[in-house]
Amino acid sequence: MNEDDPGTASPFELLLDMERRCRDQAAPLPEREERRTDWRAVAFSLAGRWFIAPLDEVSEILVPTPLTRVPGVRRWVLGLANVRGNLLPVMDLADYLLGQPGGTAKGGRILVVNHSGVLSGLLVDRVSGMRHFLYEERREECPEVPNAVRPYLEGSVQVGDELWPVFSMHRLAESPLFMHVAAV
């Protein structure tokens, strides 16, 4: 194509020239970011040890409210709470698992579990809030924990220099032992 006389160029040559000039002036495409998958969990402490529970297994986190005692139940069944007009059975998770009452400190919270028809509030010592973890940070192995806790664990997550056990609220809700609340 003759750049001095654009009238002598064919339409095809004009299109090729426009394409060349567009490519010369075009901004580069953004670098493709590697998308990392993560999952969310609630960090909570129980008897001085940190655990995490998958966020999709905790439906709500509550500040402890007044409870109505229920006669004839195990010690770890603390009572019923009225939560927005609904009755919520509240259990002391440390007492159930370890035989030592917990969650009585100022930072105590109730983790609400609603799974397969089981609605329950679990009193824990403290909640650190929601955390994001990469799937690659999950481990099969679990740190040393009391035997009563092991059936409810699903591996662990690396948090700094520590392994934090992943506590499955669903496994707990499916446990026949947890469902047996009558003090017989």
* The predicted structure's pLDDT at residue 129: 87
The per-residue pLDDT for range 61-112, each reduced to its tens digit, is 999 999 999 999 999 999 999 999 889 999 999 999 999 888 676 789 999 9
The per-residue pLDDT for range 106-142, each reduced to its tens digit, is 789 999 999 988 899 999 999 998 999 888 888 888 8
Q: Could you say which of 3.40.140.10, 3.40.50.1980, 2.40.50.180, 1.10.3720.10 is the CATH number of the domain covering 38-179?
A: 2.40.50.180
Domain ranges of the chain: 38-179
Q: How many whole angstroms separate alpha carbon 107 and alpha carbon 97?
A: 20
The per-residue pLDDT for range 4-15, each reduced to its tens digit, is 565 678 888 888
Q: Are 87 and 70 in contact (CB under 8 A)?
A: no
3-state class of 137 per DSSP?
A: helix
- What is the CB neighbour count within 10 angstroms for residue 184? 5
